[in-house]
Amino acid sequence: MKIYPVILSGGAGTRLWPLSRAVMPKQLLPLVTDKTMLQETALRVHGWPGLMAPLVVCGNEHRFMVAEQMREVGITPQSILLEPIGRNTAPAVTAAAQHLLAQDPDAIMLVLPADHVIEKNDAFRQAVERATRLVQEGALATFGIVPGAPETGYGYIRRGEPLPGCDDCYKLERFVEKPDRNTAEGFVADGGYYWNSGMFMFRADRFLAEIEKHAPAIAQAAENAMQNAYRDLDFCRLDEKAFTACPSDSIDYAVMEHTRDGVVVASDIGWSDVGSWTALADVQQKDANGNSLRGDVYLDNTSNTLVRAESRIVAVVGMKDVVVVETPDAVLVAHKDEVQRVKNVVEHLKGKERTEHLHHTKVYRPWGSYEGIDHGDRFQVKRITVKPGEKLSLQMHHHRAEHWIVVSGTARVTCGDKVMLLAENESTYIPLGTTHRLENPGKLPLHLIEVQSGSYLGEDDIVRFEDVYQRA
């Protein structure tokens, strides 16, 4: 028996703006510890007897960051499955099940969202062990979280009859949508309801049989996408046309609400989906006044407040029950009772065709990163970091010229027919329309300043002729 963790690393985490953004969502951020939530999820199930290397499912735009974060913690995924577009959890898990079944007809899947916190790892492991016995017999298990409070931000699961021979295991009676306060209080008092964790466990063949029965359109589209998938470097790309045609639905609605073999494993594991700033505050350490702090923060007469400073000192005076989050290009101030409305800010930014919901001033690339430090009419200044041994694409721009000044490290520069080495304090000029490439041939990171000038400075003014990362 082999158990394969399937880590779902999709989603945008809009309620955690301005820290979580489309290009760098919450699962790729170090929100609670010094490791990202994706890394914590992978490490949580690393080294268990019977557990294989994880299968990670993520969006195409996050593929290099996911691969790099796995490398940083010494975990080599058995595959990284790329979704061309988000279609909720049911299609993603269906494709993952087909992928695993092709190599192991007895594969058991442990489906884990990448953006959850679990504080009691031993209790979680015990819950998985209890679920395993049921799954081997053909059950489709979900993990119901013993509620610690009448939460209105979570969906609930109603348990049915207890299952013999498995402590705290029950037939799954039904799922319940997020309740109002009075209903949630009734659920907690009843004792027969659990928070819906979004974590599942089942045999791959059993899940596929159930989704073919209850959601055949998803099953067929995912099968088509998997059959026409292809390798791209270390990634497995699902066929774009087939997957885009797949209906969007969750595992709950597509399968678990309909199957007769659903079970719920009651779990008290210190779980949170970190779905809001108040949820994040709940899982962070607090000072004597109930404040959750991160970064360079000064407080005076402030209590029960979350303050996160990313790039400068943040001073908060005379406040209570608020959230203050600072990033280099945006600041959020909200009352804790209103943090669910943060998603409205993201919608506003989208409607105004702004970019603060898409990416930070620092943007990560497979070769390193760049950060905007100044801009104006017809010019833009960036700080660029290239990792040792990496190279940018061979490219050209129609609308801008560039000056490169090396701050530290060594740069190999291709400019037209010339190839040159630049050391610290040396510079070069890339004329408009000239084919060029930047490489780091050294053993240390390359840091340089790029000054762009021209009539249009957008990132889409790139014509790539050659790229080791096979980007378009």
pLDDT value for 425: 95
Q: At how many degrees (to 10) do helices 204-214 and 89-101 cross?
A: 130
**What phi and psi, each to the nearest 5 degrees, are found at residue 81?**
-95, 125
| Residue 304 and residue 281 share a domain | yes
The reply to whether 259 and 286 lie within a common domain is no
What tokens appear for 271 in the block? Answer: 């779980």
Whether residues 30 and 116 fall in one domain: yes
pLDDT at position 12 is: 80
The residue from 238, 272, 306 where one domain ends is: 272
Which pLDDT score is estimated for 50? 87
Q: How far is CA 398 from the centre of its chain?
A: 34
Element (H, E) at 135: helix 121-136
For the residues 181-200, what does the mean pLDDT come to? 95
Average pLDDT, the chain: 95
Q: Which amino acid is at 281?
A: A
Q: What is the pLDDT of residues 365-381, one digit of tens each?
A: 999 999 999 999 999 99
> What pLDDT score does 233 carry?
85
In a domain, 472, yes or no: no
90 and 151 in a single domain? The answer is yes
> Could you give the percent of the chain with pLDDT greater than 70?
100
CA–CA distance, 218 with 210 (Å, rounded to integer) = 11
Residue 257 sits in the same domain as residue 285: no
Instruction: Report the CATH number that the domain containing residue 194 is assigned in CATH.
Output: 3.90.550.10
Domain boundary among 289, 315, 346: 346
Count of C-beta atoms within a 10 Å radius of residue 336? 16
| 352 part of a folded domain | no
Contacts with 424 (C-beta within 8 Å, 6 or more apart), sequence order: 406, 407, 408, 409
Q: Are residues 282 and 135 in the same domain?
A: no
pLDDT value for 357:
94
For residue 307, being part of any structural domain is answered with: yes
**Residue 433 maps to a domain:** yes
Would the pLDDT of 296 be above 80?
yes
In a domain, 356, yes or no: no
| Tally of structural domains, the chain | 3
- Of 36, 104, 108, the closest CA to residue 72 belongs to 36
Residue 17 and residue 164 in one domain: yes
pLDDT band at 472 (very low <50, low <70, confident <90, very high): confident
The residue assigned the tokens 């009419």 is 377
**Of the residues 247, 272, 297, the one at which a domain ends:** 272
Assess whether 206 and 305 both reside in one domain.
Answer: no
Give the pLDDT mean for 114-119.
96
User: Are 288 and 380 found together in one domain?
Assistant: no
Q: How confident is the model at residue 342 (pLDDT cuts 50, 70, 90)?
A: very high
Q: Give the pLDDT of residue 471.
A: 82
Spatial contact of 411 and 421, defined as CB atoms under 8 Å apart: yes
Asked if the bond preceding 18 is cis, omega within 30° of 0, the reply is: yes
Examine residue 19 and state whether it is found in any structural domain, yes or no: yes
pLDDT digits (tens, 9 = 90+) for 3-33: 999 999 988 889 999 999 999 999 999 999 9
What are the backbone angles phi and psi of residue 282, rounded to the nearest 5°?
-65, -30
pLDDT of the residue at 462: 94
Instruction: Give the confidence band of 284 by pLDDT, cuts at 50, 70, 90.
Output: very high
Same domain, 22 and 157: yes
Q: Residue 148: which domain range? A: 3-272
Q: What is the pLDDT of residues 212-268, one digit of tens each?
A: 999 999 999 999 999 999 998 889 999 999 999 999 999 999 999 999 999 999 999
Residues 201 and 65 reside in one and the same domain: yes
Residue 287 maps to a domain: yes
Say whether both 144 and 195 belong to one domain. Answer: yes
Task: Determine the average pLDDT of the residues in 261-286.
Answer: 95
Distances (CA, A) of 224 to 79, 236, 254: 19, 14, 18
Q: What is the per-residue burial (b if ≥16 Cβ within 10 Å, else e) of 129-156?
A: ebbbebbeeebbbbbbbebeebbebbbb
Structural domain contains residue 354: no
The CATH number assigned to the domain holding 443 equals 2.60.120.10
